[in-house]
């Protein structure tokens, strides 16, 4: 049976239960997370008002995943920066930027996975180059954002002299992390060269 292009309709009732109209069964947030991982498309509607609440349900799934031990994907600094963008004049640019960055990350991740599988004969995840690219993208985005809103990065009561040391400490940590990643990648390249 061919897979339908139409998204599956999920209805959320007042008792917080979620009903999958495609399978005529009640589902949990965990079931919806499994559907997302399987590439199944769905929309969630409030059963009473018919309002599309897909975004809030997906955010709730992310919240639950983040609360599981060892499942953290969202760094604290990223979350803080994201919160700062709410209500900002650049807010409308953030969703598309994040979408494009994640699509690029997914493509590069798959390429890297295939290359590692060919090189080592196993499925070894390696994120060094992709982390570097994402970091460069975020730095570029932050610089562009700062050009349009020079005071957005300052927190209440913090002057420029307080913001700079924090930035340089983070930059120093980032540089050290990049050095370690480059050294690790060089070791992997050396191993591949030795096998060839």
Q: What angle do CA 4, 10, 14 make, to 5 degrees?
A: 170
pTM: 0.55
Of 94, 102, 106, give the one whose Cα is nearest residue 141.
94
pLDDT tens across the length of the chain (196 residues): 445 678 999 999 988 899 999 999 999 999 999 999 999 999 999 999 999 999 999 999 999 988 887 778 888 898 898 899 888 888 888 888 888 988 888 888 778 777 777 777 655 555 566 566 666 766 766 666 566 555 544 444 444 444 444 444 556 677 777 778 777 777 777 777 666 5
3-state secondary structure of 154: coil
pLDDT at 160: 45
pLDDT at 121: 65
pLDDT at 125: 52
Cα 134 to Cα 64, 129, 139, 144, 148, distances in angstroms: 25, 9, 9, 15, 21
**110: its two tokens:** 């798959």
pLDDT at 196: 55
For the chain, the domains span 8-66, 74-152
Separation CA 36–CA 7 (nearest Å): 11
pLDDT at 171: 65
């Amino acid at each position: 049976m061919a897979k339908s292009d139409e998204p599956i309709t999920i209805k959320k009732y007042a008792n917080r239960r979620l009903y999958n109209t495609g399978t005529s069964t009640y589902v949990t947030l965990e079931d919806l997370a499994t559907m997302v991982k399987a590439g199944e498309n769905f929309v969630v509607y409030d059963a009473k008002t018919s309002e599309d609440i897909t975004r809030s349900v997906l955010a709730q799934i992310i919240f639950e995943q983040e609360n599981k031990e060892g499942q953290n994907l969202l760094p604290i600094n990223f979350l803080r920066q994201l919160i700062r963008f709410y209500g900002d004049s650049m807010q409308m640019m953030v969703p598309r930027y994040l979408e494009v960055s994640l699509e690029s990350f997914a493509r590069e991740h798959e390429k890297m996975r295939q290359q590692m599988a060919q090189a080592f004969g196993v499925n070894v995840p390696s994120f060094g180059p992709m982390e570097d690219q994402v970091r460069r993208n975020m730095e570029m985005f932050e610089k562009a954002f700062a050009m349009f809103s020079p005071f957005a990065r300052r927190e209440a009561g913090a002057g420029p002299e307080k913001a700079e040391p924090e930035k340089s400490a983070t930059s120093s940590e980032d540089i050290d992390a990049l050095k370690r990643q480059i050294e690790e990648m060089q070791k992997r390249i050396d191993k591949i060269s030795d096998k060839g």
